Chains A and B, each alone.
Chain A
Amino acid sequence: MIKPLLEVQNLTVKYGAITALHNVDIRVEEGEIVSLIGANGAGKTTLLRTISGLLTPKTGSVSFFGTSIVGVSAHKIVRGGISHIPEGRMVFANLTVDENLQMGGYLLSDKRVFAAERDFVFSIFPRLRERMTQSAGTLSGGEQQMLAIGRALMSKPRFLMLDEPSLGIAPILVRSIFEKIVEINKMHGLTILLVEQNANMALEISSRGYVLETGRVILTAPSSSLRNDPKVRSAYLGG
């Protein structure tokens, strides 16, 4: 049997005495866009941070292509092909756009591979090429999100995790960023786990979804059925 790209089983994560995730199970197959929706404080960010190695779970397992990555440090997990775009974008504000991309490609030792990867990022976000020498802190929110995605692509990942890419971004730009996410998935075959409070749009572009509530997965289904689920509609889709 083919191993799933990502398999999270029975995951429990605590901050001191607070349990942020209770026995969470999540599975992502290669090539999918999976969305993870839930209210503020549900534990979405905690899940992504645990997968990328920034947090260590109390119990449970995280496997990437069948290999356990629990306890592996974050900078080594990137090497394995997981790229995490953190909540709030976290572009290096004190670095230029180009230096941010250099950091994204930190693990690429071959200059030609780096240049090719950067051209690939510029082909998706031409705006970044125009802003190359500009300090990332002076970009608009939307441009920063493009940079955060571009930076994450620089490491040639097989799996991309996005934490609320629509947060604090003008609605017109949100649509264009979601189109880019679809493009990255469809044209370049990258598997994506998309965390959103903006559940409507996330469910529009994903094939399946998980609903997280106070640290527990309460529902999982194809995105189309989640969008028609009365409970989901009232809680997350504004009726």
Chain B
Amino acid sequence: MNEFLQQVINGVSLGAIYALIALGYTMVYGVLKFINFAHSDVFMIGAFSAFYAVQKYPSVFVINSWPGGALVIFTVMALCALLGMVIELLAYRPLRNKPRLSVLITAIGVSLLIENLAQLQFGAAPQHFPDLLPVTIIHLGNLSISSTKIVVIGVAAFLLVALEFIVRKTKIGVAMRAVSFNHQTAALMGVNVDLVISFTFGLGSALAGAGGVLYSLSYPAVEPFMGIMPGLKAFVAAVLGGIGNIPGAALGGLLLGIIETFVKGSHYSTFTDAIAFAILILILLFRPAGLLGKVQIEKV
């Protein structure tokens, strides 16, 4: 029983990170109907920005401290938001009215470009990620939980709630949903569609950046290709939940994290990734629209 609970917490903490990344895939899919393959590289850049922030400006981004850690996350989120918006502006906006396949291929190109530039700049070898936050072991009954797991779950939960608020309750959030229904109709309401798309990229990329920092807290090694597997799994999570559906992405991320953690703890640990993708295929066979995705029916 204890071990089970321990694994659930580990799974939720991993799943929370997948959820954060998955949201970016799903939101961009919502407004532009394509998969932004460069998203996982924003996650990687997020981890590296944190890495270099504490290295270059140790007096500002103080390691092993709560204010320092919080400042790192905020700064990384802001930087990644900017990066996401620049990627959209330079790579995707010029292709706005081109076939979706061209945009998809461009996304793969952008992803390779960022990975290779990162390799050139940061080197290919994994580097140790510093301890941003003080780590303690919390004892809860017979459970012992690392405070890092609690922080990861707490920060991710806070960001998910904040995002839900933005998307449901703010004017720009309603506009995002309107744009994901139809660009031209949103424009007829006076919505500057380009601005909303840019905002969506910023929001998703900020979450990916936070995900990159949280991931590095749990798995403290950064390298230029570190985004690929988490990114792919987050993409699976987004499809699992129903691509374009925000609560779906969160649910998909959590499910995938929990399943992955349990498989890792079993005899089949070598097949962890194979199982993650087998789930994707199964879900798509039985529920092509994903767990929370709806098959839209035209009404007359």
Taking Cβ atoms with an 8 Å cutoff, the residues of A that contact B are 52-54, 73-76, 78-79, 83-84, 86, 90, 92-95, 99, 102-104, 106-107, 137-141, 144, 151, 155, 168
- How far apart are A237's CB and chain B's nearest CB, in angstroms? 24
Query: Contacts A52-B188, A86-B185, A103-B175; is A75 near B193 (CB within 8 Å)?
Result: yes
Output the nearest chain A residue to B181 by Cβ-Cβ distance. Answer: A92
Bound CA–CA A137/B298 (angstroms) = 8
Asked if B186 and A103 sit within 8 Å, CB to CB, the answer is yes
Residue among A74, A94, A144, A155 making CB contact with B187, cutoff 8 Å: A74
Output the nearest chain B residue to A83 by Cβ-Cβ distance. Answer: B188
Bound CA–CA A215/B137 (angstroms) = 75
Query: Contacts A95-B177, A102-B174, A168-B300; is A155 near B184 (CB within 8 Å)?
Result: no
Asked if A54 and B178 sit within 8 Å, CB to CB, the answer is no
Asked if A74 and B300 sit within 8 Å, CB to CB, the answer is no
Bound CA–CA A87/B210 (angstroms) = 43
Bound CA–CA A53/B193 (angstroms) = 13
When distances are taken between beta carbons in the complex, the residues of chain A under 8 Å from B193 are 75
Output the nearest chain A residue to B188 by Cβ-Cβ distance. Answer: A84
With an 8 A cutoff between CB atoms, is B98 at the interface? no
* B interface secondary structure, majority: helix
Asked if B187 and A73 sit within 8 Å, CB to CB, the answer is yes
Asked if B187 and A103 sit within 8 Å, CB to CB, the answer is no
When distances are taken between beta carbons in the complex, the residues of chain A under 8 Å from B190 are 75-76, 78-79, 106-107, 155
Query: Contacts A90-B182, A168-B300; is A106 near B175 (CB within 8 Å)?
Result: yes
Instruction: Determine which residue in B184, B189, B296 has the highest number of CB atoms from chain A within 10 A of its CB, and name it.
Output: B189
Residue among A75, A90, A93 making CB contact with B191, cutoff 8 Å: A75
When distances are taken between beta carbons in the complex, the residues of chain B under 8 Å from A93 are 181, 296, 299
Asked if A75 and B178 sit within 8 Å, CB to CB, the answer is no
Asked if B184 and A92 sit within 8 Å, CB to CB, the answer is no
With an 8 A cutoff between CB atoms, is B40 at the interface? no
Instruction: Determine which residue in A75, A102, A103, A139 has the highest number of CB atoms from chain B within 10 A of its CB, and name it.
Output: A103
With an 8 A cutoff between CB atoms, is B192 at the interface? yes
When distances are taken between beta carbons in the complex, the residues of chain A under 8 Å from B178 are 92, 95, 103
Chain B, residues 174-208, CB within 8 Å of chain A (1/0): the string is 11011011101111111111000000000000000
Asked if A78 and B188 sit within 8 Å, CB to CB, the answer is yes
Provide a sorted-by-A list of 15 A–B residue pairs whose CB atoms are within 8 angstroms.
A54-B187, A54-B188, A74-B184, A75-B193, A78-B187, A92-B181, A92-B185, A93-B296, A95-B174, A99-B174, A102-B174, A103-B175, A103-B178, A106-B189, A137-B299
With an 8 A cutoff between CB atoms, is B171 at the interface? yes
Asked if A141 and B184 sit within 8 Å, CB to CB, the answer is no
Output the nearest chain B residue to A78 by Cβ-Cβ distance. Answer: B190
- How far apart are B112's CB and chain A's nearest CB, in angstroms? 33
When distances are taken between beta carbons in the complex, the residues of chain B under 8 Å from A168 are 300
Asked if B192 and A75 sit within 8 Å, CB to CB, the answer is yes
Bound CA–CA A84/B187 (angstroms) = 10
- How far apart are A54's CB and chain B's nearest CB, in angstroms? 5
Bound CA–CA A84/B192 (angstroms) = 16
When distances are taken between beta carbons in the complex, the residues of chain A under 8 Å from B182 are 90, 92
When distances are taken between beta carbons in the complex, the residues of chain B under 8 Å from A84 are 188
Bound CA–CA A75/B296 (angstroms) = 27
Asked if B192 and A103 sit within 8 Å, CB to CB, the answer is no
Asked if A106 and B180 sit within 8 Å, CB to CB, the answer is no
When distances are taken between beta carbons in the complex, the residues of chain B under 8 Å from A144 are 299
When distances are taken between beta carbons in the complex, the residues of chain A under 8 Å from B177 are 92, 94-95, 99
- How far apart are A53's CB and chain B's nearest CB, in angstroms? 8
When distances are taken between beta carbons in the complex, the residues of chain B under 8 Å from A137 are 296, 299
Output the nearest chain B residue to A95 by Cβ-Cβ distance. Answer: B177
Bound CA–CA A76/B187 (angstroms) = 9
Asked if B187 and A75 sit within 8 Å, CB to CB, the answer is yes
Bound CA–CA A141/B178 (angstroms) = 19
When distances are taken between beta carbons in the complex, the residues of chain A under 8 Å from B299 are 93, 137-141, 144
Bound CA–CA A10/B46 (angstroms) = 54
Asked if B180 and A94 sit within 8 Å, CB to CB, the answer is yes
Beyond contacts A75-B189, A78-B189: 6 other A-B pairs, Cβ-Cβ < 8 A, are A75-B188, A75-B191, A93-B299, A103-B186, A106-B190, A144-B299
When distances are taken between beta carbons in the complex, the residues of chain A under 8 Å from B184 are 54, 74, 86
